[in-house]
Homo-oligomer: A and B are copies of this chain.
Amino acid sequence: MHHVNFQPKSTLFEQGDEAGSLYTLTSGTVRLHYDLPDGRRQIVGFAMPGDFLGLSLEPRFGITADALTPVTACRFDRHRFMNLIDKHPNLMRKMHEVASHELAIAQEHMVVLGRRRAEERVASFLLKWWQRLKRVQGNTPTLPLPMGRQDIADHLGLTIETVSRTLARWMRERIILDVPDGVRILDAAKLEDVLGN
């Protein structure tokens, strides 16, 4: 195990690569995506400090992971990590807990992609990202968005224009406020109303 650093836009691992490593993020934001041969891209999630990457037992990575900001992480060799697990059986349980939770998150996101309209998708994204940030950084009204508009669109199954228009409208309506590298949530209740639950 040793610490590794990644520059923005650099790749931790790529879709199809042999899954030889396992990471835990200590700082920065990582984009996880599946790319189609014709260039279409689906961002299946964003990773932040505390998250695990590559804990799947599949022989190859199904997705690509690349850094959106400077990233620091702990890298483990897969084989060595598996030996470690034999000595600490509760570690395997922990891995499975994390994986089950990821699966639950993935299933919730399928609902967003399959059954939510554009406005609901963007509201869902802002609120979920805000919640995750709160658990790491504490309660802040200011929401950093290290990912670009295209990334948000590729996460929500929309085009960059639809994301831009939706955010622009909410800025006009004073529901959010434009700040450098992110937004400030002025009226979270209105965003929750959009989701209707």
- Interchain CB contact under 8 A, B57 and A97: yes
Stretch in contact with the other chain, from A107-115, A129-137, A179-187? A107-115
- Interchain CB contact under 8 A, B110 and A197: no
State the number of copies, please. 2
- Interchain CB contact under 8 A, B106 and A42: no
* Any B CB within 8 A of the CB of A4: no
A157 interface neighbour in B63, B92, B114, B154, Cβ under 8 Å: B114
**Chain B residue with the shortest CB-CB distance to A197:** B37
A99 interface neighbour in B89, B100, B111, Cβ under 8 Å: B100
Interface 0/1 of A43-61, CB less than 8 Å to B: 0100000000001111000
Interface 0/1 of A29-46, CB less than 8 Å to B: 000001011101110100
* A41: chain B residues within 8 A (beta carbon): 115
**Chain B residue with the shortest CB-CB distance to A195:** B36
- Size of interface on A: residues with Cβ below 8 Å to B: 42
* Any B CB within 8 A of the CB of A62: yes
Q: Which of A92, A100, A101, A107 has the most CB of B within 10 A?
A: A107
* A103: chain B residues within 8 A (beta carbon): 56, 99, 102-103, 106
Distance in angstroms between the alpha carbons of A114 and B85 in the assembled complex: 36
* Any B CB within 8 A of the CB of A96: yes
A62 interface neighbour in B63, B107, B197, Cβ under 8 Å: B107
* A38: chain B residues within 8 A (beta carbon): 196-197
A55 interface neighbour in B58, B92, B100, B101, Cβ under 8 Å: B100
Distance in angstroms between the alpha carbons of A139 and B150 in the assembled complex: 42
Distance in angstroms between the alpha carbons of A56 and B107 in the assembled complex: 12
What are 14 A-B pairs with beta-carbon distances under 8 A?
A34-B107, A36-B197, A44-B110, A56-B103, A57-B96, A57-B101, A92-B96, A95-B96, A96-B96, A99-B99, A103-B103, A103-B106, A113-B113, A114-B155
